[in-house]
Structure 1
Amino acid sequence: MVGKKNKSYQIGDLLYHPAKAYGSKYAVVVKVFNTKRRPGHPCCNVPAFGIIWMEQPGDVYEFSNNEWCETDKGFRLAASA
Structure 2
Amino acid sequence: ATWIPEDIITNFILDLIDASFYARRDLKAHYSDVTGEWNIENKSCDRNTIAVTSTYGTNRANAYRLIEDALNLRDTKIFDYN
TM-score (norm 1): 0.25
Which of the two has greater strand per residue?
A: 1
Larger gyration radius, structure 1 or structure 2: 1
TM-score (norm 2): 0.25
